[in-house]
């Protein structure tokens, strides 16, 4: 009998289901990390933009605040609505360094959360 010619078909190595799932999950993880970095950069950029837009502007009327000295404390005053804005700890410094009535001092200390 003559030898039969056998046809050998080349089958590419296909990934298994586990390999396929691993690579899909890995790709998804990389995309999510990239998206998270983009969103964080966008949020930081927006925060900087808003700070530049609102820094030293009156929260009530939007006018530019001017710094004025009150004793040894620099407070921000709005020339338009006459609002006075204090940074952290400035009210405490004013209360400590100003001669005011005991009743008003107790009121301010209550606002600050201090016991009288």
| C-alpha atoms less than 13 angstroms from C-alpha of 51 in its C-beta half-sphere | 6
pLDDT at 7: 66
Torsions phi, psi for 19 (to 5 deg):
-65, -45
- Per the domain annotation, does 52 fall within a domain? no
CA–CA gap between residue 86 and residue 62 (Å, rounded): 16
Q: Sorting pLDDT into bands at 50, 70 and 90, what band is 42?
A: very high
pLDDT at 34: 97
- Per the domain annotation, does 99 fall within a domain? yes
- Per the domain annotation, does 54 fall within a domain? no
- Per the domain annotation, does 21 fall within a domain? no
pLDDT at 24: 95
Using H for helix, E for strand and C for coil, what is the string for 12-66? CCCCCHHHHHHHHHHHHHHHHHHHHHHHHHHHHHHHHHHHHHHCCECCCCCCECE
- Per the domain annotation, does 96 fall within a domain? yes
- Per the domain annotation, does 1 fall within a domain? no
- Per the domain annotation, does 36 fall within a domain? no
Domain count, the chain: 1
The whole-model pTM stands at: 0.50
Residue with more model confidence, 4 or 108:
108
Containing structural domain, residue 92: 66-112
- Per the domain annotation, does 13 fall within a domain? no
pLDDT at 31: 97
């Amino acid at each position: 009998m003559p030898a039969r010619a056998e046809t050998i078909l080349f089958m590419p190595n296909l990934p298994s289901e586990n390999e396929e799932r691993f690579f899909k999950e890995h790709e998804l993880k990389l995309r999510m990390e990239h998206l998270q970095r983009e969103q964080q950069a966008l949020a930081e950029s927006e925060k900087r933009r808003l700070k530049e837009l609102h820094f030293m502007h009156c929260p009530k009327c939007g006018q530019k605040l001017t710094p004025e000295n009150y004793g040894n404390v620099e407070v921000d005053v709005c020339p338009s609505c006459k609002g006075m804005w204090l940074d952290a700890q400035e009210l405490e410094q004013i209360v400590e360094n100003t001669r005011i009535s005991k009743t008003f001092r107790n009121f301010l200390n209550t606002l600050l959360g201090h016991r009288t």
